[in-house]
A and B are shown apart, each in its own frame.
Chain A
Amino acid sequence: MKTVNVNKSVNGVYSSVDGYTLYCILRPYFISNQIVTVSFKDMPLMSSSFFNSSFGELIDEFGISNFKEIIKIVDITNSQAKFFRRYLEMHIQ
């Protein structure tokens, strides 16, 4: 299974431009229906803009069920998990 390290893949986790970069990296996995591990190692807390432009765009395009099947998140701290779940919940409301 492939692993994408977010912190090494983008310049930062605050802007929508960087979020779009991550979206572009992850999108092919959804197209080919291939599970991908996404590592949050050494990553600071992401902004809501970054989430919306990356994971949010993938959810909008492929659906939440597909998203949960394809994306496996690892190396995530308690704090990161709290924010990620908050953004996810807001996005799918």
Chain B
Amino acid sequence: MSTIEISDLRSFSVLFDRIRNKDLSYNIDATSFPFFEPKHILMLVEYFVLQNYNGRDGVLHLHPEIEWYFDAIGFEQFCNTNYISPTEQSKSIRTAIPIIRIDTNTMNSYIDSAKKFFQRYCIGKDTDILGICISEIINNVYDHSHSEHDAYIFSQYYTKTNMIRFAISDLGVGIPATVNNYLVKSGMEVLPNLEALKWATEKGKTVKSSDRNMGMGLDNIITSLREIGTLEIFSDDTYCVLGNDGDLRFGLNPIRNFTGTLIAIDININKLDIFDETILDDFTF
């Protein structure tokens, strides 16, 4: 069996090329990859889940110093058991919630357990923003993506930077295609992919996959994260990033052949609001 080498972000292009062409008979050599973030791990998950789904075998080669980490987060267990339907993981690690296949049915319990899990690192802080970000993304996956494999989520706490980092990914049609399908059906002109992504992030813009969609989801995440975190969206050949300066920037996806959508979020715990239970005396609309 041949091997694909993954050594940096751009080298995932080869992985996604194989996913697109359904050519899944490769081992992956990630022994020289410098540092795995949740987004990198989910991209590997997608490859190996699809490989299992298509009845192929492959091995992930890792640097010996991080093999324990992939074992602790249940990487192999997840890929071997979740390619048909969600299966609970038996692995656990103190600073991360193992990889989960998530849908709108499991979203509530995941958010509750994620908030409880990270509360120990967010003493006195308001962690409701986690629920907003996760739920808005999962609802978008289910409303728009047509993903056949649900979505995957992986969350990790980083002690040195006091940060929660999580990523959610799906292998659906991608945001630009969803936007342009809607525009065509509505008798409007197709947008270039990057303009379509920008369109999707604007408040009030919705493809109305259901009557209840009002175009608030992505804008809600972006608005909520400004000043407390960062966001990256990888979708088809497009990319956008919300930086620490609060600006949203758009560009070409550094990963060619990318399939579906991956959203990676960092939340700086130092910048979270203090948990305030004070009830307003009088609420007016």
> Which residues of chain B (90-109) have a CB below 8 Å from chain A?
104, 107-108
Task: State the interface size on chain A (CB cutoff 8 A).
Answer: 36
Give CA–CA (A53, B107) in the complex, Å.
17
Question: Contact check: which of A16, A68, A79, A90 meets B216 at CB < 8 Å?
Answer: A90
Interface assignment of A35: CB less than 8 Å from any CB of chain B:
no
A interface, CB within 8 angstroms of B? 11-12, 14-19, 44-45, 47-53, 56-57, 68, 73-79, 81, 83, 85-88, 90-91, 93
Question: Contact check: which of A50, A78, A93 meets B280 at CB < 8 Å?
Answer: A78
When the two chains form their complex, are residues B204 and A53 in contact, meaning their CB atoms are under 8 A apart? no
Taken residue by residue from 123 to 136, chain B's Cβ proximity to chain A (1 for < 8 Å, 0 otherwise) reads as 00010110110111
Kindly specify which of B173-181, B242-250, B270-278 makes contact with the partner chain: B270-278
B210 contacts across to A, CB distance below 8 A: 16
When the two chains form their complex, are residues A68 and B285 in contact, meaning their CB atoms are under 8 A apart? yes
When the two chains form their complex, are residues A52 and B107 in contact, meaning their CB atoms are under 8 A apart? no
Give CA–CA (A47, B218) in the complex, Å.
11
When the two chains form their complex, are residues A81 and B283 in contact, meaning their CB atoms are under 8 A apart? yes
When the two chains form their complex, are residues B213 and A52 in contact, meaning their CB atoms are under 8 A apart? yes
Whole-angstrom distance from the CB of A8 to the nearest CB of chain B? 14
Interface assignment of B220: CB less than 8 Å from any CB of chain A:
yes
When the two chains form their complex, are residues A16 and B139 in contact, meaning their CB atoms are under 8 A apart? yes
When the two chains form their complex, are residues A76 and B279 in contact, meaning their CB atoms are under 8 A apart? yes
A12 contacts across to B, CB distance below 8 A: 107-108, 111-112
B139 contacts across to A, CB distance below 8 A: 14-16, 47, 49
Q: Which 10 A-B pairs have the closest CB atoms?
A: A12-B108, A14-B135, A48-B216, A47-B135, A45-B128, A52-B212, A49-B139, A73-B283, A76-B283, A53-B212
> What 14 new A-B contacts, CB under 8 Å, besides A45-B128, A49-B135, A90-B203?
A12-B108, A15-B139, A16-B210, A44-B128, A45-B129, A48-B214, A48-B220, A49-B217, A52-B214, A74-B283, A78-B278, A78-B280, A86-B223, A87-B216
The chain B residue sitting closest to A16, CB to CB, is B212
B128 contacts across to A, CB distance below 8 A: 44-45, 79
When the two chains form their complex, are residues B135 and A90 in contact, meaning their CB atoms are under 8 A apart? no
Whole-angstrom distance from the CB of A24 to the nearest CB of chain B? 14
Whole-angstrom distance from the CB of A18 to the nearest CB of chain B? 8
